Amino acid sequence: MASNERSEKELLSELFALYAEVDDRLSEATCPASSECCRFGRTRREPYLTSLEIAALAKAKNAGQPAKRERPPPLSLPMFQAVADEGLCPFLGADARCTVYAARPFGCRTFFCERAAVPFPLPHKEMLAFVRRLKELSASHQPRGDEGRPLRSVVASLKGAPRAQRRR
Ligand code: SF4
């Protein structure tokens, strides 16, 4: 490794420092925890992840997943269609909480639905500065690591990735 190159561990540490800054900056925001932003079929918005964010999620997934998941009963066809239409994030738990909350990507920290109260929203310029830093870290992580990929396609490619929970 060249002396100016950072290891993945160092880059992940910088990523989590960046996440902490974003969280701190938005700490006054309140969210009704509806989990709507984790239902991409409803919002029509899905977070795009850089390579470094994927690495953070892969580690969290391995550390945080329960050994066994309860198998839900089979769904009827209309119910199955309803679940598919929801476009649930595979990391959304059966209790409608994020199972990788500490490692959730940048997009999940900054997506706010209209029900969230954000007294001090991030000005566009500040948001862009955070995004620039995220991209710089990710470009140092992998060639073209700064190019975002949709969350669900990323998760599908992770070994042992969770499937979206079905709702009864
Ligand atoms: S990673 Fe977590 S916060 Fe982000 S969409 Fe998925 S369940 Fe929601």
Decide if 57 is inside a domain: yes
Domain of 132, in residue numbers: 8-157
Does ligand 1 come within 6 angstroms of the Cβ of 49?
no
- Report CA(93)–ligand 1 centroid distance (Å): 9
pLDDT for 77 equals 64
Residue 161 class from Cβ within 10 Å (0-12 exposed, 13-18 middle, 19+ buried)?
middle
| Alpha carbon distance 159, 113 (integer Å) | 31
Number of separate domains in the chain: 1
pLDDT for 103 equals 96
Does ligand 1 come within 6 angstroms of the Cβ of 38?
yes
pLDDT for 116 equals 74
pLDDT for 165 equals 55
pLDDT for 114 equals 72
pLDDT for 66 equals 43
pLDDT for 125 equals 95
pLDDT for 68 equals 45
| Alpha carbon distance 38, 98 (integer Å) | 8
Decide if 1 is inside a domain: no
Decide if 167 is inside a domain: no
pTM of the model: 0.82
For a substitution probing ligand 1, which of 100, 111, 113 has the most ligand atoms within 8 Å of its CB?
100
Contacts of residues 135-141 at CB distance under 8 Å and 24 or more positions apart, as own/partner, are 135/50, 137/11, 137/14, 137/15, 137/18, 137/50, 137/52, 138/50, 138/51, 138/52, 138/53, 140/5, 140/6, 140/11, 141/8, 141/11, 141/50, 141/51, 141/52, 141/55
Decide if 12 is inside a domain: yes
Residue ranges of the chain with per-residue pLDDT less than 50? 66-72, 167-168
User: Which residues make Cβ contacts (< 8 Å) with residue 157, sequence separation at least 6?
Assistant: none
Decide if 134 is inside a domain: yes
- Report CA(115)–ligand 1 centroid distance (Å): 17
Does ligand 1 come within 6 angstroms of the Cβ of 166?
no
SS3 156: helix
pLDDT for 104 equals 95
Nearest-atom index, ligand 1, CA of 101:
2
Nearest-atom index, ligand 1, CA of 92:
7
